[in-house]
Amino acid sequence: MSDIKLEPGWLAQLKAEFEQPYMQELGAFLRREKAAGKIIYPAGSNIFAAFDATPFEAVKLVIIGQDPYHGPGQAHGLSFSVPPGVAIPPSLRNIYQELNRDLGLSIPAHGHLLPWARQGVLLLNAVLTVEQARAGAHQGRGWERFTDAAIAALEKKRENIVFLLWGSYAQKKGAFIDRRRHLVLQSPHPSPLSAHRGFIGNGHFSKANEYLVNCGKTPIDWRVGEIS
């Protein structure tokens, strides 16, 4: 992964990780998988899209996902998001439902969350690649350590960031975050299997904005607009 191009602020924080043996092994694994004809999502140019869309110094809020969508055309490097023209996945539909309930926002016709990322919402999956039609196929290959390092950099070197930890996986990943310096909001995952056990009704979007305003930051405009 010596040819990685990353937003300069993130590169300064994570450069040492790219030099670690585990990342070299991860790069070799991905090259072997591709050479074997396996289809990997997202496209190589989008693997680090979350970092490029939300520079290190711009991060206000972090939403942690597990791994990318594994269907054709879905994954583009931002957790929970899909490109324009792709059907809105069930978990994102429930996120929109809670935004409607919490803030009265209309439910969008698309699932492209880049407008959030550009306002400082880091849409970070714990695992940054996946094999087509095999959810979780790249878990345990090293991505978790890399994204832990990214979260740790934010936790240590920034202040007053909101972390939305939805579901047990994200909650375990964010267990080390200092609650005295950051706001951590937890609830069940927005998946259809768990959304109605406490995700719907969690009020995280209004609570996050209230905290940001109290810290002197601009709140997030959670509308994603229309895609032409």
For the stretch 13-23, pLDDT in tens is 999 999 999 99
Average pLDDT over residues 166-185: 97
Q: Record the pTM.
A: 0.97
pLDDT of residue 5: 77
Helix 8-18 to helix 143-157 angle (10° resolution) is 130
pLDDT of residue 31: 97
- Residue appearing with tokens 């920034």: 158
Average pLDDT over residues 52-70: 98
Average pLDDT over residues 46-73: 97
Report residue 149 as tokens.
């390092």
Active site residues: 67
